[in-house]
Amino acid sequence: MAKKDECRYLVRASKELRVILEHFNKYPLITQKQADFELFKQVVEMLSHKEHLTPEGIQKIIAIKASVNLGLAEELKVAFPNTIPVPRPLVEDKEIKDPNWLSGFSSAEGCFLIVVKTKLTSGHYV
């Protein structure tokens, strides 16, 4: 639940990801988090082309996740032991154009999460 002085945007469907993409395309990040965003955009594009429905697509998404934030959780390392992280895009230093940027940066929290679940009838799925 959001506190009274914060706002949260929860994504419950892949079409809602477009809101995030539009926002950060309009207001780019100016730190190395921009690299995470660029990788995140690749995954969203893969989802829109249904590449996540193939084993190769899942492996590519896992390789991208390995390069984002803290990398792969132990569970994913075990499930995908041959994963080679993709190269992270290089983000050049950018100028802070909005004085409110620091406030937003310091209070923001976001993540790119992959969960491995078990189906009773067909094993694991991501």
Q: Where are the domains of the chain?
A: 14-87+95-125
Contact 72, 80 (CB under 8 A): yes
Distance CA 68, CA 82 (A): 17
Give the residue from 94, 74, 91 showing the smallest Cα distance to 83.
74
Q: What is the model's pTM?
A: 0.69
Output the pLDDT for position 3: 63
Give the distance between the most distant pair of CA atoms in the chain: 54
Contacts of 24 (CB under 8 A, 6+ apart): 37
pLDDT tens, N- to C-terminus, the chain (126 residues): 556 666 777 888 878 888 889 888 888 887 788 899 999 999 999 999 999 999 999 999 999 999 998 899 999 999 999 999 999 998 876 777 666 665 555 555 555 566 667 766 666 555
CATH number of 14-87+95-125: 3.10.28.10
Output the pLDDT for position 11: 81
Token pair for residue 95?
């100028």
